[in-house]
Amino acid sequence: MEQKSPRVTSGADLSVEIAGLRLRNPVMTASGTFASGREYADFVDLSRLGAVVTKGVSPMAWTGNESPRVAETFGGMLNSIGLQNPGVEAFCAGDLVWLGSQDVPVVVNVCGHSVEDYVRVVERLEDEPGVAAYEVNISCPNVDAGGMAFGTSCAPAGAVTAALRSVTKRPLIVKLSPNVTDITEIARAVEGAGADAVSLVNTLLGMAIDAETRRPKLARVVGGLSGPAIKPVALRMVWQVARAVGVPVIGVGGIMNGADAVEFLLAGAAAVQVGTANFADPTSTMRVVDGLAEYCARHGVGRVSDLTGALEE
Amino acid sequence: MEQKSPRVTSGADLSVEIAGLRLRNPVMTASGTFASGREYADFVDLSRLGAVVTKGVSPMAWTGNESPRVAETFGGMLNSIGLQNPGVEAFCAGDLVWLGSQDVPVVVNVCGHSVEDYVRVVERLEDEPGVAAYEVNISCPNVDAGGMAFGTSCAPAGAVTAALRSVTKRPLIVKLSPNVTDITEIARAVEGAGADAVSLVNTLLGMAIDAETRRPKLARVVGGLSGPAIKPVALRMVWQVARAVGVPVIGVGGIMNGADAVEFLLAGAAAVQVGTANFADPTSTMRVVDGLAEYCARHGVGRVSDLTGALEE
Amino acid sequence: MSCAALDAGSHPLLERVEVLANDRVAEGVGLIALHAPRIAAAVEPGQFVHLRIATGADFLLRRPFSVHRAGGETIEILYQVLGRGTLDLAGKTRGDVMDAIGPLGTGWDIPDGIAHILLVAGGLGAAPLGMLAERLSARGVAVSVAQGAPTSERLVARELFESVARRVEVATDDGSAGERGFVTVVSERLLQTDRPDLVCVCGPEIMARAVAAQAARAGVPCRVSLERLMACGIGACLSCVVTTSHGRKRACVDGPVFDAEEVCWDGAEVPPRH
Amino acid sequence: MSCAALDAGSHPLLERVEVLANDRVAEGVGLIALHAPRIAAAVEPGQFVHLRIATGADFLLRRPFSVHRAGGETIEILYQVLGRGTLDLAGKTRGDVMDAIGPLGTGWDIPDGIAHILLVAGGLGAAPLGMLAERLSARGVAVSVAQGAPTSERLVARELFESVARRVEVATDDGSAGERGFVTVVSERLLQTDRPDLVCVCGPEIMARAVAAQAARAGVPCRVSLERLMACGIGACLSCVVTTSHGRKRACVDGPVFDAEEVCWDGAEVPPRH
Ligand SMILES: Cc1cc2nc3c(=O)[nH]c(=O)nc-3n(C[C@H](O)[C@H](O)[C@H](O)COP(=O)(O)OP(=O)(O)OC[C@H]3O[C@@H](n4cnc5c(N)ncnc54)[C@H](O)[C@@H]3O)c2cc1C
Ligand SMILES: Cc1cc2nc3c(=O)[nH]c(=O)nc-3n(C[C@H](O)[C@H](O)[C@H](O)COP(=O)(O)OP(=O)(O)OC[C@H]3O[C@@H](n4cnc5c(N)ncnc54)[C@H](O)[C@@H]3O)c2cc1C
Ligand SMILES: Cc1cc2nc3c(=O)[nH]c(=O)nc-3n(C[C@H](O)[C@H](O)[C@H](O)COP(=O)(O)O)c2cc1C
Ligand SMILES: Cc1cc2nc3c(=O)[nH]c(=O)nc-3n(C[C@H](O)[C@H](O)[C@H](O)COP(=O)(O)O)c2cc1C
Ligand code: FES
Ligand code: FES
């Protein structure tokens, strides 16, 4: 991985527009890897991020899964956090207030066990001024009810989206699961149901075993695979979905540096999210922003948005 | 990765039985990564392998895809070889004759664009004494017609299996694709249609882009992801399928050493295949065999088959 | 003092650290000294650093290590070689550079007015207790140490403890030093004989749990330092939770040191080592 | 001679090789000397080794490199730093150990009776031609060399060529040495003036293709060494195919040297470097 690079200031226009939302640059945080940014504020200038995407928020507090909740794998990691969060009320009283004091657009990641759950969270958040958009997590492999179940077939995916569309005018980003036979079907379904954008991918369902103890490395046995190991799969899915839908695509999966981000843009993404990389290097998001600017400068790219879909096949 | 380890001779019984086939040990080669073994004979004692699984064989010669056909990714690689092979006649006249002179069971990997193609290959091979079993590749992401198309929904997967079942009494191993929403459905379908065993996984469909040239790294744009990066996904699917079907499961995906093989056995595999690891170290299969023996000795495992499904959840 | 990571004033730092020395101190155990001026100045006993061991293209999560000792511009880490990360760590030599996030976590947070403290160390559990023993004895607190290990050679940091503690009693599985058996035999006795005001424990969770029970029976408050697998190390990912009577807490920021009685021993510790 | 990898007698070896020296010879170009007695003894000009650069837990495919020179128990590799593998290679120092598979491929396979040969090298294409030039001149064959590079400093192995060749003419993109422009200008002229019996080319595929056309027009047989991405390097994986008039052939065992007229220039070369 690159070492921390000096901030690059280039002439290129890094701003992008997603679902009516103007972002300073296309680099967002990936939900669940950055909390609400407070912990990272010591290492990252939040005002240099395109957006902060929060940890998943549910109607009531969720306690998540047992420990161990993470395991390292080759070029990546498994997690089975299970969407532990204090619930939407506590979120509004806590993180959201703090985020209000920061100069960065806030995308709230929404999760639930049922369509009603999702609706309740969004309805509650509609009263809050500090929310720029919603990212609907229908792809979490770490909860039994709901979670990925919504994201692996078209009807429920469309149903959640439609229900949320009817309660908000704010930009609705639906986050898709890679654990499907044909991700373009799901993408078209949520687009048809009113999604303003799609983000992909969430984690790949995986498993790790400790041969010595003969036990699964995760208490939940299975968990979500993330990190550089999954980048080729994420990139392929972004490329497929960008050709299948009209709404903007947000690419996520194994992005560690500026070059990785450029690859996702070329494949058709309008923006990107950085997740697991934050754990290895808490300044990763800044390196991605600087790397993008440096790439644009070096290649004479005037607007970063010109890179979207610019793959030469 | 481990360095070449001295051959370990342990008291443990490494032999396994799969679909009526007795193998010296559970370590096979993964199709397409070992050709027919001739090229590896300089580095590997074929008689110490559980079985050699050949490159995919089609009714007529296939020329495969354009170059570049491979690209390295984080912890793995993409390939889009496209099942280039000289066709079943040339195979019988060439590799199969050579394999006949080797002291190792031969599993012929069969591919086709249509059910008829698969049937023609197997019917031709039925005349050949030197074939121990068939592995039916319904999961190749690198051919347009056939290939993965058969492996991603139940009906065609069952149809190919049933057609082959009707023309051979030899053990029929069906190789499954990981690019599906629920691999247990497909596994049950092929079991129901007469498969004696299933092997999984084939490669994950992925993509790589060269940001500098803005071009896909593979001429075919997409290709199959293999290597340690995919091990957590393969392990999870083996664990799921082993609980869903009664026939033996052969685990494949990212196995680099003995410990990896043990993990697949614990997850429920009766045998394993080693693929991409052969490229990094041509002696990988031997290291896996030695590593398995060493593990059994160290843990007092009398029969390696006792490890199958012995995961402590 | 202490509670560094919690009090608003102090924040974790991302510091480029350079290896000053890296020596084997016992079978499979190493002591690495790092030039880390900013972390060394801020760290409190019981806090840890989140170390990025991998370099180059290699992807590896950080690894958390307690600060064993800190002085001047140097911190020392006592580490056991277990897997990929600590193998790489053992290979580092003078001049190698890594980066570290720290100081992290709550630390032991010893209240004033403590006159006599019992430290119970199991195996590498000695690591986060070294600095504590030094600082407390410097503060005039009487320190007793109960230390256990598989064998005498593995009684790491024993000299340190003997140099500052009023009394050090040991137990080894093979009887090669002190009592034959578990450290809990020694800790039980010292609880009775030395009547400490506070017990601080670090070691395998099963042992920590047993000592916590002894302290409870003796009516002595007890602190335990717990290990969890940690991804971010700074409170963001929720991979390190410990179940407590006040709900799930993050070992990296709400711990790693917890009040024994608030811990729900749910067996969620890191899998046993080999 | 030659055709080593093909004739049944000879087999590729898996050899533990030790770095003897590793020096920068130009901007982004290094020359590494490896102690590889068995490969050194068997290798023929134009053959290559498949080098395992990564160590430890790091997964990396092997990287193919032509043997630039071989003598005694040593082989030399001339390499250009492009990405992860060659970056790591540039970091190797005396005493580091890797493993190599080799010798691999067909080699130049020069028929007896050749009196005058023209070698055309573009950039790092000089690598597989060094050993050839030495061996041929030792056999009394008259050697002419046309060499091209972006700039004079990048005319790698120029001294070697000048020490054994009858004539060396160069071209550089910036005119800092010889002609300003492409090596094809020089090769065209030498084809006319020196009337070689055989042309051997290695360099970017577009340049090799142009030289092959020149040779064809001049009615001189031509051999080209082609690059493909290689996974196994030993003929098993079919990742390295070259389309020829006799169908798809494997660059690692049927090549890397091909008869120019059998090559179908399908633009399947490795993506341009940066
Ligand atoms: C707050 C804290 C302080 C620590 N202080 C020390 C210390 O001072 N000295 C020391 O030697 N070790 C310490 N550890 C444990 C140390 O982090 C692990 O031993 C190390 O991460 C193992 O990395 P590895 O790659 O070598 O092993 P891996 O291959 O990652 O794992 C090998 C074994 O170590 C266990 N392990 C892996 N990561 C952790 C982890 N984060 N915590 C606990 N166990 C783990 C695994 O479950 C496995 O059983 C501490 C852990 C925590 C949470
Ligand atoms: C038979 C043969 C002989 C070779 N001899 C030499 C030599 O003597 N000196 C030398 O410097 N290089 C040689 N090469 C090329 C060398 O193998 C690549 O430059 C090297 O593998 C790049 O590895 P990397 O990890 O540094 O770059 P990567 O990050 O893998 O790739 C960087 C760039 O190099 C290209 N590349 C990667 N692998 C290969 C490959 N196997 N062949 C060609 N291009 C590749 C990629 O397409 C990319 O554009 C030879 C290649 C072949 C096939
Ligand atoms: C520890 C962890 C927690 C996560 N939590 C969430 C979450 O709450 N909601 C969500 O939509 N995705 C969650 N994800 C998925 C990431 O947002 C992202 O989609 C995935 O990790 C792939 O990106 P990466 O490879 O950059 O990490 C989580 C990932 C990790 C590693
Ligand atoms: C270069 C290459 C060629 C392959 N060709 C075939 C094939 O012909 N038939 C097949 O069923 N699988 C083929 N595979 C898939 C492997 O057999 C194996 O299922 C996959 O690579 C995962 O295992 P691994 O990670 O150990 O490589 C191929 C894989 C690679 C890398
Ligand atoms: S390690 Fe991320 S919250 Fe503790
Ligand atoms: S590299 Fe595998 S066949 Fe040539």
Distance CA D138, CA D218 (A): 27
Considering only the beta carbons, identify the residue of A40, A68, A84 that sits closest to C236: A40
Considering only the beta carbons, identify the residue of A78, A213, A311 that sits closest to B232: A78
Residue of B nearest to A218 (CA): B313
Ligand 1 center to C82 CA (angstroms):
8
Q: Using one digit for the tens of pLDDT, what is the confidence trace for C87-102?
A: 999 999 999 999 999 9
Atom of ligand 4 minimally distant from the CA of B137: 11
- Contact: A68, C232; criterion CB under 8 Å: no
Q: What is the pLDDT of residue A77?
A: 97
C-beta A226 within 6 A of ligand 3 = yes
B140 or B123, which is more confident: B123
Ligand 3 center to A2 CA (angstroms):
22
Residue of D nearest to C84 (CA): D57
Q: Using one digit for the tens of pLDDT, what is the confidence trace for A156-169?
A: 999 999 999 999 99
Is C57 an interface residue toward D (CB < 8 Å)?
yes
The number of the ligand nearest the C-alpha atom of A111 reads 3
Considering only the beta carbons, identify the residue of D57, D87, D88 that sits closest to C84: D57
Q: What is the pLDDT of residue C56?
A: 58
C-beta C128 within 6 A of ligand 5 = no
Q: Using one digit for the tens of pLDDT, what is the confidence trace for D86-141?
A: 999 999 999 999 999 999 999 999 998 999 999 999 999 999 999 999 999 999 99
| Whether residue D267 has pLDDT greater than 90 | no
Q: Using one digit for the tens of pLDDT, what is the confidence trace for C84-142?
A: 899 999 999 999 999 999 999 999 999 999 999 999 999 999 999 999 999 999 999 99
Choose the mutation target among C11, C61, C63 for the interface with A, i.e. most A CBs under 10 Å. Answer: C61
| Whether residue C6 has pLDDT greater than 60 | no
Q: What is the pLDDT of residue C172?
A: 94
Which residue minimizes the CA distance to atom 27 of ligand 2? Answer: D83
B77 or A1, which is more confident: B77
Q: Give the residue among B274, B288, B286, B281 at the shortest CA–CA distance from B33.
A: B274
% of chain D with per-residue pLDDT over 90 = 87
**How many residues are given for chain A?**
313
| Confidence label for A139 from pLDDT (cuts 50, 70 and 90) | confident
Considering only the beta carbons, identify the residue of D59, D101, D266 that sits closest to B282: D101
Q: Using one digit for the tens of pLDDT, what is the confidence trace for D150-159?
A: 999 999 999 9
| Whether residue C8 has pLDDT greater than 60 | no
Residues of A marked as catalytic: 140
Strands B70-73 and B76-79: antiparallel
Q: What is the pLDDT of residue B144?
A: 65
- Contact: A64, C238; criterion CB under 8 Å: yes
- Contact: B262, A211; criterion CB under 8 Å: yes
- Which H, E and C letters describe A24-50, residue by residue? CCCEEECCCCCCCCCCCCCCCCHHHCC
C-beta C238 within 6 A of ligand 5 = yes
- Contact: A283, C14; criterion CB under 8 Å: yes
C-beta C104 within 6 A of ligand 5 = no
> Crossing angle of helices C183-194/C205-218, nearest 10°?
20
% of chain C with per-residue pLDDT over 70 = 92
Q: Mean per-residue pLDDT for B231-242?
A: 98
Q: What is the token pair recorded at A141?
A: 């492999």
| Whether residue D7 has pLDDT greater than 60 | no
Q: How far is CA C263 from the centre of its chain?
A: 17
Q: Using one digit for the tens of pLDDT, what is the confidence trace for A105-129?
A: 999 999 999 999 999 999 999 999 9
Looking at the complex, report in whole angstroms how far the Cα of residue C229 sits from the nearest Cα belonging to chain A.
Answer: 7
Chain A residues near residue C234 by CB distance under 8 angstroms: 39-40, 42, 282
Query: In angstroms, what CA-CA distances link B187 with A2, B111, B238?
Result: 43, 18, 10
Q: Mean per-residue pLDDT for A170-185?
A: 96
How many other CB atoms sit within 10 Å of the CB of residue C16? 13
Ligand 6 center to B221 CA (angstroms):
20
C-beta D258 within 6 A of ligand 2 = no
C-beta D124 within 6 A of ligand 2 = yes
Amino acid at B4: K
SS3 C241: strand
Q: What is the pLDDT of residue B147?
A: 62
Pocket of ligand 6 (CB under 6 A): D 230-233, 235-240, 250, 252
Which residue minimizes the CA distance to atom 48 of ligand 1? Answer: C273
Tell me the count of B-D CB pairs closer than 8 A.
Answer: 108
Q: What is the pLDDT of residue A10?
A: 52
Distance CA C119, CA C222 (A): 10
Question: Is the ipTM, as predicted for this complex, more than 0.85?
Answer: yes
Q: What is the pLDDT of residue C269?
A: 52
Considering only the beta carbons, identify the residue of C228, C234, C240 that sits closest to A282: C234
Least confident piece of the model among A63-72, A270-279, C238-247, D55-64: D55-64
Q: Mean per-residue pLDDT for C62-91?
A: 95
Distance CA C229, CA C241 (A): 9
Q: What is the pLDDT of residue A99?
A: 97
% of chain C with per-residue pLDDT over 90 = 87
**A36 near C235, Cβ under 8 Å?**
no
| Whether residue A9 has pLDDT greater than 90 | no
Distance CA D125, CA D211 (A): 13
Q: What is the pLDDT of residue A140?
A: 77
Looking at the complex, report in whole angstroms how far the Cα of residue B193 sits from the nearest Cα belonging to chain D.
Answer: 32
Atom of ligand 3 minimally distant from the CA of C237: 1
| Whether residue A256 has pLDDT greater than 80 | yes
Q: What is the pLDDT of residue B139?
A: 85
Ligand 3 center to A224 CA (angstroms):
8
Q: What is the pLDDT of residue D62?
A: 96
How many other CB atoms sit within 10 Å of the CB of residue C81? 16
Is B135 an interface residue toward A (CB < 8 Å)?
no
- Which H, E and C letters describe chain D, residue by residue? CCCCCCCCCCCCEEEEEEEEEEEEEECCEEEEEEECHHHHHHCCCCCEEEEECCCCCCCCCCEEEECCEEECCEEEEEEECCCHHHHHHHCCCCCCEEEEEEEECCCCCCCCCCCEEEEEEEHHHHHHHHHHHHHHHHCCCEEEEEEEECCHHHCCCHHHHHHHCCEEEEEECCCCCCEECCHHHHHHHHHHHHCCCEEEEECCHHHHHHHHHHHHHHCCCEEEECCCCCCCCCCCCCCCEEEECCEEEECCCCCCEEEHHHECCCCCCCCCCC
Which residue minimizes the CA distance to atom 11 of ligand 4? Answer: B137
Ligand 5 center to C164 CA (angstroms):
34
| Confidence label for C4 from pLDDT (cuts 50, 70 and 90) | very low
Choose the mutation target among B2, B45, B69 for the interface with D, i.e. most D CBs under 10 Å. Answer: B69
Ligand 3 center to A310 CA (angstroms):
27
Among all chains, which residue has been given the structure tokens 């030094």? C134
- Contact: D229, B76; criterion CB under 8 Å: no
- Contact: D236, B66; criterion CB under 8 Å: no
Query: Is B140 labeled as catalytic in the residue annotation?
Result: yes
Choose the mutation target among C234, C246, C253, C274 for the interface with A, i.e. most A CBs under 10 Å. Answer: C234
Q: Mean per-residue pLDDT for B196-219?
A: 97
| Whether residue A101 has pLDDT greater than 60 | yes
Q: What is the pLDDT of residue D14?
A: 96
Least confident piece of the model among B163-172, B194-203, D172-181: D172-181
Distance CA B70, CA B75 (A): 14
| Whether residue C7 has pLDDT greater than 70 | no
Q: What is the pLDDT of residue C11?
A: 87
Residue B150 burial by Cβ neighbours in a 10 Å radius (0-12, 13-18, 19+): buried
Which residue minimizes the CA distance to atom 14 of ligand 1? Answer: C65
How many other CB atoms sit within 10 Å of the CB of residue C93? 8
Q: Mean per-residue pLDDT for C172-177?
A: 92
**C109 near C258, Cβ under 8 Å?**
no
Q: Mean per-residue pLDDT for A42-69?
A: 95
Q: What is the pLDDT of residue D58?
A: 66
DSSP state letter for B177: P
- Half-sphere exposure of residue C89: CA atoms within 13 angstroms, side-chain side: 32
